[in-house]
Chains A and B, each alone.
Chain A
């Protein structure tokens, strides 16, 4: 079956540090890839996505590139802020029939940014 593996947290960084959160996947078909973010006390928000190989998704200074050859979708940011503290989920979706299949999530990575 489909699965997503993320680096385990918590990940603690100082403000303005470089961030990488690793994500690899296995999928039965050709997936779309997503990063969702969950801020404390809030729901899941779509951060960025990529729907085909070599696509780069980007938003709010975060970016991730769909690497089919390494089945990876690592999340990066050049300079993190305290406000980036949250839980980050990598997820995939595989198209089935004519519809939109559900998401398969990783376990999440808790990111803590210290001032």
Chain B
């Protein structure tokens, strides 16, 4: 079974430029999450999807961040415009509806560097 697939693996952009990250979850996993992990810190939740619906986006900086999960499968996270403080690893995770009981599977992440 393929795991959670993310691309690109690395991205370097200049500040004020747009950037997008893509995630394909494990087949059959209804719930998809985007996290941000700053250097030396634990991941922090940005947004949670149940199928195509964003059910928790309270931590997403909506002035510059947006996300979509069309058709309830793969998802895209976008930043426009990027700021220096956005440099971090962006992680995607998925779970069955009962991820609470069975755990969450993470992708390898996209390391973003804003210069």
Does A107 lie at the interface of the complex (its beta carbon under 8 Å from any beta carbon of B)? yes
User: A95: nearest residue on chain B (CB-CB)?
Assistant: B100
Within 8 A of A (CB), among B1-55: 31, 33, 35, 40-45, 48, 50, 55
- Total A-B pairs, Cβ < 8 A: 69
User: B103: nearest residue on chain A (CB-CB)?
Assistant: A46
Within 8 A of B (CB), among A27-65: 32, 34, 36, 42-46, 49, 51
User: Which B residues are CB-close (under 8 A) to A106?
Assistant: 42
Does B95 lie at the interface of the complex (its beta carbon under 8 Å from any beta carbon of A)? yes
User: Which A residues are CB-close (under 8 A) to B31?
Assistant: 99-100
Secondary structure at chain A's binding surface: helix, strand, loop or mixed? strand
User: Which B residues are CB-close (under 8 A) to A108?
Assistant: 40-42
> Please, how many angstroms separate the alpha-carbon atoms of A44 and B56 in the complex?
22
Segment among B70-78, B80-88, B105-113 that sits at the interface with chain A: B105-113
Of the candidates B35, B45, B50, B103, which one forms a contact with A99 in the assembled complex, judged by CB atoms under 8 Å apart?
B50
Mark A residues whose CB is within 8 Å of B: 4, 32, 34, 36, 42-46, 49, 51, 89, 91, 93-95, 98-108
